[in-house]
Structure 1
Amino acid sequence: MTHTNSQSTEKQSARKQPSQKATSTKDPISRLWDNLKSMKFAIILLLIITALTVINLFANEFIVPVNGSQPGLAYSVYNQAYGEPRATILTLMQMNAPYNSWWYTGLLGLLSLSLLVCVIDRSTLVWKLVTGSRFLAAESQYDGNDHHANISGDASLKDKTLEAITKAGFSVNTKETSKATLVHGRRAAIAHAGSWIVHVGFIVLIIGGALIARGEYRQNVHGLPGDMLAPDDSWWGFNVRVDDFTIEYADLKEGQYVQVDGGEHVGRIDEMVTDSTANVEILWPTRGFEENMGTDRIENRIDRRFGQGRLDQGNISDYIADLTVIEDGQEVMKKRIEVNAPLRYMGYRFYQSSFNDTQTDANGTWTTVIEARRDSGSPFIWTGIILVSLGLMLALYLTPREIFARIEVVDNKTRVLITGKSKGRPTEFEQQFQNIVKHIQPSNMESAA
């Protein structure tokens, strides 16, 4: 005979609340630990940090900006602008570099400590939920759940039960007792670790951000073909040689400033008539307009300079530098770099940044300007992003489920008590549970609700 019940029942349990006297007897360290791991404390801290971050974004709108992070320089600027005691207060609060200030760093450190305490406190529980097995021995533990069934039959029920739970995608563990065989099936148990992994990811992100803010290296270097970018190897532990530098120009199109007839005239393309002709507005040395000008007379690289900049700056499509890494006098690596495609070596990144067309070599090649960067926080940032993303995916897209069964022989008949629970998607789990029950129950017996 089979009895099933899949309707939601209201559960009431008397939970004893810890008395105020028991709470007050906790030692200070335990109370501090409880506060640090509480969600309320973390939320309040996050709100404070968010508010201060917004204030820092607009700090320069109300406070005289200081070019530099030295306290002496900051005090001098503030004292000249505001006098005492405001200058001392602003210097003490490090408002010249608020994101690196002691109070902002301290708040981030406190948030990291709160996350770390939460991670440590939950580690054992999460490990048990993900890897451990728990069994329900008492019959009362089955009848009180939303989904449960009582199935009776011959000795084959045991194998059918294990087979049905396994086929449903559950990882099955069993435990033999003197009275019964206890079964525990788990599915998507790794989802219990989602929140824990997110917490770890945030800790790693904060560490990475702190390392970037306090240890980032940036240096603009430049050179002509054949030049070394650094005076010697002491800068980076190696050196980089410029082998070549080229500028690529975009194809001719409407709106471009161009030179005509080798630079005798400067104009702007008004319209591309065909691939080989264009209407050009002449701007220098006299103004005019010429229709159907052959593109063989037009160049979008303009050799003549006007003022401090280049008129053809907008026509440039790419800057390309060929670099060679030199270490201990040996060439160890060659790399062609361009915008957003840097050379990476020993933790340093070399980005093609700009150019200087006023310093050229005998062949007219311009000077390349390279930005050298290094920060020890980038690996932490990427690791943190991966961990947070992974944790969110586990928590949001996987639903942990459990199946419990008690198999025993009563009056020469095998009886199976089975129940289960799901952390979400109750309708889907109800259907899955019913399918398991149908697979277990003898074919010649009907289910009775």
Structure 2
Amino acid sequence: MAVNPSFLTRLSSWGRVPQVYLRRELLPVLSDLRLAIALLLAIAVFSIAGTVVEQGQSAAFYQANYPEHPALFGFLTWKVLLILGLDHVYRTWWYLGLLILFGSSLTACTFTRQLPALRWFSRTSRKFYNQPRQFQKFALSAEFSQTSLDDVWPLLEQKRYTLFRQDDALYARKGIVGRIGPIVVHASMLLILVGAIVGALTGFIGQEMIPSGQTFQVKNIVDAGPFAASQIPKDWAVKVNRFWIDYTPEGAIDQFYSDMSVLDSEGKEVKRKTIHVNEPLRYHGVTMYQADWGISAVQVRINKSPIFQLPMAQLDTGGKGGRIWGTWIPTKPDLSAGVSIIAKDLQGMLLIYDTSGKLISTVRAGMSTPVNGVTLAVKELIGSTGLQIKADPSIPIVYAGFGLLMLGVMMSYVSHSQIWALQKDGNLYIGGLTNRAQVTFEREMLEILDKLEAQTHDTAVAVTA
């Protein structure tokens, strides 16, 4: 079957339309510096919002702290906050979209502006000037009548220039790393953006309040990316061997500690560490931080009964008086009478109240007191450790990006200096420029010109003699 050649021509032209549109329309927009600055500012604003607004809290938390009446700033209520996703800014589709768009802008700028400029510097055929008028554009240039390229060459070599020669034209440069630096900066920013996206998609944050002596697996996930399931540990658990608090002589908390063991699927200890604030436990990409503490239970004895343990719950103080924990202890077998016991820390005094709310006694752990006709002995307060658990596979990527960013910034501070020379019609033309450290380059250039002028003078004296 014969095919119409004009049809094939149209078909091939249609295939080129997206490429032409991408090259002529989309790439200039993406590589526009104004767009990159606008995207960077937007990312900065929403990142600040994600820092100011508490992330990953419950709906009740936001209802309590961002009520509808009165609304914060007149519009920011808990409903607006949840609808916009400000409770998990870094995992919202629009924040990830900003990161992707900014990364596309950096990529477009790199390939349309910086890499072509670098390719230009790699082609020596384009670096030579062959006309004297080309030296008029330099702020630093000179013309000599009795000097040749052979006189210029050793002077530039002494200044550690890389030299190229083509017939009667010479090109010298140094500090090319300064032109590569911005490309490295762009690459590092792209790496950081990739890390941020990977972290948002695969990382998770969990919180656990574990009594001393208990074993747990990570269950209470408060914030997680859509692909974070593979990061949540399932084949190992953690045992809190002991939790304790160090206090200052004034009674304030100095530091709290958790002695923790990582157990494999068979219950065998594979790692043990005592953690405290700013000293976490890390295992298989999961980091456990010491973040909080509480009182989980109290062990008591009534007269000569066996020791029994009662859970303690944190009481609502209405934001006054700090944190306190309490429980009810029966003093009769039929539970018809009892007392309430209140504690505010693991070392302080415990307050005992009757059913009418009257303070009837005080006691410390390890001591006993008579109440309601019985002897109540408090054996021990059981503390609980509050852990913040995180997994973020992007951390090595982000760290590598920041390392590369620092390297790129240092490279960018290297001055890229260029000097051209041309010998034509018995005269030598020389000129140069640099992209930074202008004063240093001017001194270097003037020193070279002075030496050339001195050589010219010596040659004239020799000819006269």
The interval holding the TM-score normalised by the smaller chain is 0.5 to 0.7
Q: Does 1:420 align with 2:410?
A: no
> Which of these residues, 33, 36, 42, is aligned with residue 30 of structure 2?
36
Question: Would the aligned equivalents of 2:206 and 2:218 in 1 still touch at CA under 8 Å?
Answer: no
Question: Would the aligned equivalents of 1:152 and 1:441 in 2 still touch at CA under 8 Å?
Answer: no
Structure 1 SS opposite 2:457: coil
Structure 2 SS opposite 1:445: helix
TM-score (norm 1): 0.60
Q: Which residue of 2 aligns with 1:202?
A: 189
Q: Which residue of 2 aligns with 1:125?
A: 116
Which residue identity is paired with 2:243?
Answer: F
Q: How much has 1:324 moved relative to structure 2?
A: 3.2
Question: Would the aligned equivalents of 1:66 and 1:96 in 2 still touch at CA under 8 Å?
Answer: no
Q: 2: distance between equivalents of 1:369 and 1:88?
A: 29
Distance 1:336-1:90 versus aligned 2 partners, 3 A rule: closer
Distance 1:130-1:374 versus aligned 2 partners, 3 A rule: farther
Which residue identity is paired with 1:369?
Answer: G
Q: How much has 1:354 moved relative to structure 2?
A: 2.3
Larger CA deviation: 233-242 vs 343-352:
233-242
Q: 2: distance between equivalents of 1:387 and 1:96?
A: 31
Q: How much has 1:237 moved relative to structure 2?
A: 4.1
Q: Which residue of 2 aligns with 1:369?
A: 386
Q: How much has 1:340 moved relative to structure 2?
A: 0.8
Q: Which residue of 2 aligns with 1:110?
A: 101
> Which of these residues, 291, 311, 319, is aligned with residue 353 of structure 1?
291
Which residue identity is paired with 2:187?
Answer: V
Distance 1:381-1:67 versus aligned 2 partners, 3 A rule: farther
Larger CA deviation: 339-348 vs 40-49:
40-49
Q: Which residue of 1 aligns with 2:165?
A: 175
Q: How much has 1:161 moved relative to structure 2?
A: 2.9
Which residue identity is paired with 2:435?
Answer: K
Question: Would the aligned equivalents of 1:220 and 1:369 in 2 still touch at CA under 8 Å?
Answer: yes
Q: 2: distance between equivalents of 1:216 and 1:246?
A: 30
> Which of these residues, 327, 330, 336, is aligned with residue 274 of structure 2?
336
Q: Does 1:230 align with 2:217?
A: yes
Distance 1:337-1:185 versus aligned 2 partners, 3 A rule: farther
Question: Would the aligned equivalents of 2:208 and 2:387 in 1 still touch at CA under 8 Å?
Answer: yes
Q: Which residue of 1 aligns with 2:418?
A: 402
Q: How much has 1:58 moved relative to structure 2?
A: 9.1
Distance 1:88-1:322 versus aligned 2 partners, 3 A rule: closer
Question: Would the aligned equivalents of 1:188 and 1:400 in 2 still touch at CA under 8 Å?
Answer: yes
Q: How much has 1:331 moved relative to structure 2?
A: 4.1
What do the CA deviations read for 1:272-316 (whole angstroms, capped 9, x no partner)?
xxxxxxxxxxxxxxxxxxxxxxxxxxxxxxxxxxxxxxxx4xx12
Matches within 5 A, 1:263-278: none
Q: How much has 1:101 moved relative to structure 2?
A: 3.9
Q: 2: distance between equivalents of 1:218 and 1:198?
A: 30
Q: How much has 1:421 moved relative to structure 2?
A: 0.6
Which residue identity is paired with 1:403?
Answer: I
Q: 2: distance between equivalents of 1:231 and 1:154?
A: 80
Structure 1 SS opposite 2:165: strand
Q: How much has 1:372 moved relative to structure 2?
A: 1.6
Which residue identity is paired with 2:164?
Answer: T
Higher relative contact order (CA 8 A, sep 6+): 1
Which residue identity is paired with 2:163?
Answer: N
Q: How much has 1:203 moved relative to structure 2?
A: 3.0
Q: 2: distance between equivalents of 1:447 and 1:429?
A: 27
When the two chains are superposed, the root-mean-square deviation of aligned CA atoms in Å is 4.5
Q: Does 1:437 align with 2:375?
A: no
Q: 2: distance between equivalents of 1:176 and 1:216?
A: 57
TM-score (norm 2): 0.58
Q: Which residue of 1 aligns with 2:3?
A: none
Matches within 5 A, 1:51-130: 66=59, 100-128=91-119
Q: How much has 1:94 moved relative to structure 2?
A: 5.4
Distance 1:447-1:201 versus aligned 2 partners, 3 A rule: farther
Distance 1:405-1:334 versus aligned 2 partners, 3 A rule: farther
Q: 1: distance between equivalents of 2:429 and 2:20?
A: 45
Distance 1:161-1:322 versus aligned 2 partners, 3 A rule: farther
Q: How much has 1:137 moved relative to structure 2?
A: 4.0
% identity of equivalent residues: 22
Q: 1: distance between equivalents of 2:291 and 2:83?
A: 36
Q: Does 1:216 align with 2:203?
A: yes
Q: How much has 1:33 moved relative to structure 2?
A: 1.5
Q: Does 1:163 align with 2:154?
A: yes
Question: Would the aligned equivalents of 1:246 and 1:365 in 2 still touch at CA under 8 Å?
Answer: no
- Which segments of 5 or more consecutive residues in structure 1 lack a partner in the other structure? 1-25, 70-76, 82-86, 257-311
What do the CA deviations read for 1:14-65 (whole angstroms, capped 9, x no partner)?
xxxxxxxxxxxx94222111111112333344455566777889999xxxx9
Question: Would the aligned equivalents of 2:146 and 2:456 in 1 still touch at CA under 8 Å?
Answer: no
